[in-house]
Structure 1
């Protein structure tokens, strides 16, 4: 992708710069030739899709469809994608309902290509909605090619707002967070949880997440993150802690290198 976001700084100061220039950078990204070509093709052809086979069989349509849900890496996994789409979401036994990553459920639900479901590809506004989501996520990916932490922060701002404003139960919202790889990474980092945390029983993980949220942000509720101020506080905590962890890691590596050099000198 030819567009390159302007990210002259890292850390929280870099995040502040990105926010100041965000709208103009997004506009430039959307106007880039490759993105414009992708969205034009999608807008002109998506209404012809009537089945999972139709969508999976058209690489350019599938590229935008998957990209709108952050599932770009599945572009070559056609059997898997077709199973997600063709089984739909209305049955509790459908494939997408069984997957931990709930982006697949949202993807399948959005297109409605399962047996007995209402196909949505020709509905008014459908293509515009997908295109908007595609542009948003592709911009995040372009940012991530230079700074993965900023990509996670942008993803959190968007995805967490959707979850926190939804109609799921409180536990259901937490499970949605835990089922989203980007959100899980941000929360685990902000809460300073060890890499082994995900191996715990899922209910134990939920208890820890809620306890940490209460300690860090004053409430154990995901609904608090429907407020922009709380989302930004989470992002700030994530970025600062990430920088600290990376700095400590670099210091540890340097100390090990110095110890090796010192030991080598002692044997001369």
Structure 2
């Protein structure tokens, strides 16, 4: 039986409940028989893998690896994932460097098949790192099956703080956010940007999102999100606006249904 988190409320009150109970709920998930089986299999076998081809041919190992980077939807795309892994990240022309979604870059860099003489899965603590990420992402997936807004919020809490603390230019960090679908969604919704925002020129996107962030937070830097209170403000604003948008869509759908039913009675 798959794990199903307890989420009795939606909106910000539901988020507050999730945060209060999350540690216990994560422990419960990790103690399920299926989670323990997958962890044991990964620990026992990942060090034996010598190439990207071997990894993609082992569905159980690949499932854990992809889930750890939020890419579980690509489990059937074996040729594509193999190419991402084999190309590595050091060559600017590699597939991982050309893809907008930078989770592929993180996956390829983590394994190092295309960059290193000896892949990183041979390192003693590699399994610990991937399993930790897998447990976190698996919990988010289970949450998202019931409430995708909460999944995006959990992702934003983790990834935004990590990105803010990394070295690099502010524009590079912004481009990373624009290339990370969950983080982009969190900012886009929290800042009140329209759904068509992603369709405009990338440089225009950068200018607009920085201006909106400066107006909302007093600064247009990503580095400011090393402050947990600013991350919390972004998440809170995202959840409130996402719920309002969802209620509006439900009201609109209900109105259309009522009109159709009324028309059918005439």
TM-score for both structures, normalised by structure 2: 0.95
* Equivalent in the alignment of 1:228: 228
Residues 172/44 of structure 1: CA separation in 2 closer, same or farther (3 Å cut): same
Aligned length: 266
* Equivalent in the alignment of 2:66: 66
Is 1:103 the counterpart of 2:107? The answer is no
* Equivalent in the alignment of 2:139: 139
Residue by residue, what CA displacement relative to the aligned partner does 1:191-246 show, whole Å, maximum 9, x if unpaired?
Answer: 11111111100000001110110111111111111221111110100010011112
Residue by residue, what CA displacement relative to the aligned partner does 1:72-113 show, whole Å, maximum 9, x if unpaired?
Answer: 011111100110011111111111111110000110000011
* Equivalent in the alignment of 2:26: 26
* Equivalent in the alignment of 1:152: 152
Residues 86/261 of structure 1: CA separation in 2 closer, same or farther (3 Å cut): closer
* Cα separation, 1, equivalents of 2:117 and 2:176: 23
Unaligned 5+ segments in structure 1 are none
* Equivalent in the alignment of 1:57: 57
What SS does structure 2 have at the residue aligned with 1:121?
helix
* Equivalent in the alignment of 1:8: 8
* Cα separation, 1, equivalents of 2:227 and 2:26: 23
Once the two structures are TM-superposed, the CA of residue 43 in structure 1 deviates from its matched residue by 0.7
* Cα separation, 2, equivalents of 1:155 and 1:94: 26
For structure 1, which segment, 112-121 or 6-15, has the greater mean C-alpha deviation from structure 2 after superposition? Answer: 112-121
Residues 250/116 of structure 1: CA separation in 2 closer, same or farther (3 Å cut): closer
In the alignment, is the contact (CA less than 8 A) between 1:88 and 1:117 conserved in 2? Answer: no
Superposition map of 1:185-204 within 5 A: 185-204=185-204
What SS does structure 2 have at the residue aligned with 1:21?
helix
Residues 195/117 of structure 1: CA separation in 2 closer, same or farther (3 Å cut): farther
* Cα separation, 1, equivalents of 2:230 and 2:220: 12
TM-score for both structures, normalised by structure 1: 0.95
Is 1:239 the counterpart of 2:225? The answer is no
In the alignment, is the contact (CA less than 8 A) between 2:89 and 2:115 conserved in 1? Answer: no
Once the two structures are TM-superposed, the CA of residue 259 in structure 1 deviates from its matched residue by 4.8
* Equivalent in the alignment of 2:94: 94
* Cα separation, 1, equivalents of 2:116 and 2:155: 33
Residues 76/256 of structure 1: CA separation in 2 closer, same or farther (3 Å cut): closer
Once the two structures are TM-superposed, the CA of residue 118 in structure 1 deviates from its matched residue by 3.9
Unaligned 5+ segments in structure 2 are none
Once the two structures are TM-superposed, the CA of residue 115 in structure 1 deviates from its matched residue by 5.5
* Cα separation, 1, equivalents of 2:203 and 2:53: 38
In the alignment, is the contact (CA less than 8 A) between 1:12 and 1:239 conserved in 2? Answer: yes
* Cα separation, 1, equivalents of 2:178 and 2:85: 23
What SS does structure 2 have at the residue aligned with 1:144?
helix
Residues 51/258 of structure 1: CA separation in 2 closer, same or farther (3 Å cut): closer
Q: Could you say what the CA RMSD is over the residues aligned between the two structures, in angstroms?
A: 1.5
For structure 1, which segment, 127-136 or 30-39, has the greater mean C-alpha deviation from structure 2 after superposition? Answer: 30-39
Once the two structures are TM-superposed, the CA of residue 116 in structure 1 deviates from its matched residue by 4.7
